[in-house]
Amino acid sequence: MDKLELLRQRFGYDDFRPGQQPLIDALLQGRDVLGVMPTGAGKSICYQLPALLLPGLTIVISPLISLMKDQVAALTQSGIPSAFLNSTLDAQSYCDVLRGARRGAYKLLYVAPERLEADRFQELAQDIEISLAAVDEAHCVSQWGQDFRPGYLKIAAFLDALPRRPAVGAFTATATAQVRDDIERLLGLREPLRVTTGFDRPNLFFDVVRPKSKDAYLRQFLSERPGASGIVYCATRKKVEAVCDGLQRHGFSATRYHAGLSDQERLDNQERFVYDEARIMVATNAFGMGIDKSNVGFVVHYNMPKNMESYYQEAGRAGRDGSPARCVLLYAPGDVQTARFLIQNGEDNELVREEERELLRQRDLDRLDQMTAYCKTTSCLRACILRYFGERAPERCGSCGNCSGALEERDITVEAQKILSGVARVEKRFPSSLGVSSILDMLRGSRSQKVRHYALDELSTYGIMKDISRDQVRTYIDLLIQEGYLCLTAGTYPVLRLCPSARQVLFHGEKVTCLCRVPTD
């Protein structure tokens, strides 16, 4: 049977999607491949179909233990014999699967990377014919990727130790150059065929807004789209509860999903959303993996995610059917602090050595900076995303919030002078300067503990911006950082400092302007 027939009969699709055919052809010829495709593009077929045509067994190395079972169930249902090996199996089932594999009962065997080193798996691998090894979520091998898994570093040695090295297919949705290089090098790919399909999703409209009240904005947004179904992502379980309760109280058909709910409730809620009984899913990032709902009309991020990879993956769950869909991020400067806190106090990856942890944390913080830059940019949002993923993009796409909202130039010299002189006073009193929140407290004349502790109310700039909201002052500070008048130092306790060019504004009459979006509605 040829591959197109197989695609139609076994998988039920009419045709290949971009990228699938060249990857499949290369693997069938025994050549290594690196497939970089966005989530939902259809990476699985690229190794599942060759598995059926090649002799022997295909092993699929995947870190997503929770998904293996579903994938294997789906394959089995399509009449493709397959099984998985991971820590969720009891001893008996584990033995059964090993025995089945030895007998040649399966075409595909999914394994968690940690299993590769297990003695009994090693013995099996030496004895049977493995013609293809697929490495799913291949970015896990890279410390530059968002979810590094040390087990992935052992894959290359495992493959080399096989009696015959199989063709190796690496697949990922993360396309930054560093990660791609790491994948090729650390998995030991041999002259792989590289296929990268475009990351752009033209039917998605991207937007970043800074509403005064996120809840009011969200309700307005949902009311304007009465029939549409969509996801609202929040940073924490607590926020999911609060937002979902709030929406339900206002009569919206919402349900929720996070790791704190029982398995049963998670499953029920997920099904209610997938089958359109609940129109809105309020969830943490635990929701969405392996969910295949095509008519998601919007994805709202109530909080800023920790990095662009997560953002694009989550936002990308909108508009899978190709219809226009909206991806809106509700930004508040406080989200940056929350994300920073989550990174610094998050669960440590137990598999990683102590000295690596600090490095990983630093990279997470760098990624957070890039995410923050996306929220603050006044240029094309789509271009910002595509460039992050290493793709070229036109200056303006014409269909994102920044391209379509009119921009207006405003003179903010007076505000800038107030802020810069405030920072100058603080630096004079405390040469190593203070953090943004202390400076905000000082400018806005707050009576906070920090103000009393540092006696900031004795400075002549105390309270000079008391008529402007804290968020607004924070926005001005961000602009001044972006324009190079102020800088925020790196490290655990960043402080705000004057840059040399601030003198031009303070003493030489330089004007400061900013491009502000004029709301279209």
Interface contacts to Zn ion, rule CB under 5 A: 380, 382, 397, 400, 403
Nearest-CA neighbor of 183 among 170, 195, 193? 170
Nearer to ligand ADP, 195 or 514 (CB): 195
Site for ligand ADP in 220-259 (CB under 6 A): none
Interface stretch with ligand ADP, choices 11-19, 252-260, 463-471, 486-494 (CB under 6 A)? 11-19
Residue 381 C-beta: closest distance to Zn ion, Å: 5
Query: Which does residue 400 touch among Zn ion, ligand ADP, none (CB within 5 to 8 A, set by kind)?
Result: Zn ion
> Which does residue 49 touch among Zn ion, ligand ADP, none (CB within 5 to 8 A, set by kind)?
none
Pick from 329, 299, 332, 293: which is nearest to 314 by CA?
299
- Using Cβ positions, the residue closest to ligand ADP within the complex turns out to be 42
Per-residue x/- track, 336-375, ligand ADP (CB under 6 A): ----------------------------------------
Question: How far, in Å, are 3, 133, 255, 449 from residue 56 at the CA level?
Answer: 17, 11, 45, 69
In the list Zn ion, ligand ADP, none, the entry touching 380 (Cβ below 5 to 8 angstroms by class) is Zn ion
List helix spans (H) across 146-236. Answer: 155-160, 177-186, 214-223
By beta-carbon proximity to ligand ADP, the closer residue of 13 and 430 is 13
> Residue 509 class from Cβ within 10 Å (0-12 exposed, 13-18 middle, 19+ buried)?
exposed
Q: Which is nearer to Zn ion, 330 or 400 (CB)?
A: 400
Long-range CB contacts for residues 378-387, cutoff 8 Å, separation at least 24: 378/402, 378/407, 378/515, 378/517, 381/206, 381/207, 381/208, 382/200, 382/206, 385/199, 385/206, 385/308, 385/312, 386/199, 386/200
Q: Which of 503, 499, 504 shows the shortest CA–CA distance to 486?
A: 499
Pick what 397 binds: ligand ADP, Zn ion, none; C-beta below 5 to 8 Å, kind-dependent: Zn ion
By beta-carbon proximity to ligand ADP, the closer residue of 37 and 170 is 37
Of ligand ADP, Zn ion, none, which one sits near residue 430, judging by CB under 5 to 8 A according to partner kind?
none
Stretch that binds ligand ADP, among 9-17, 190-198, 329-337, 412-420 (CB under 6 A): 9-17
Q: CA triplet 288, 294, 298: central angle to 5 degrees?
A: 70
From the list ligand ADP, Zn ion, none, which binds 13 (C-beta under 5 to 8 Å, kind-based)?
ligand ADP
Distances (CA, A) of 271 to 192, 232, 260, 274, 427: 40, 16, 17, 5, 56
Site string for ligand ADP, 375-404 (x = CB under 6 A): ------------------------------
- Give, as ranges, the residues between 268 and 307 that touch ligand ADP (CB under 6 A): 292
Q: Which is nearer to ligand ADP, 78 or 213 (CB)?
A: 78
Residue type, 481: I
Closer by beta carbon to ligand ADP, 43 or else 363: 43
Within 13-52, which residues bind ligand ADP (CB under 6 A)? 13, 16-17, 20, 37, 39-45
Of the two residues 229 and 402, which places its CB atom closer to ligand ADP in the complex? 229
Q: With contact defined as beta carbons under 8 Å apart, do 266 and 223 qualify?
A: no
Best CA proximity match to 497, nearest among 425, 448, 441, 412: 425
DSSP conformation letters of 1-64:
--HHHHIIIII--SSPPTTHHHHHHHHHTT--EEEE--TTS--HHHHHHHHHHSSSEEEEE-S-
Applying the rule CB under 6 A, the residues between 102 and 121 that interact with ligand ADP are none
Is the CB of 214 or the CB of 382 nearer to Zn ion? 382
Q: Is 494 in the site for ligand ADP (CB under 6 A)?
A: no
The distance in angstroms from the start CA to the end CA of the chain is: 57
Residue matched to tokens 């994948």: 183
Min dist. Cβ of residue 421 to ligand ADP (A):
52
**Which residues of the shown chain bind ligand ADP in the complex (CB under 6 A)?**
13, 16-17, 20, 37, 39-45, 292
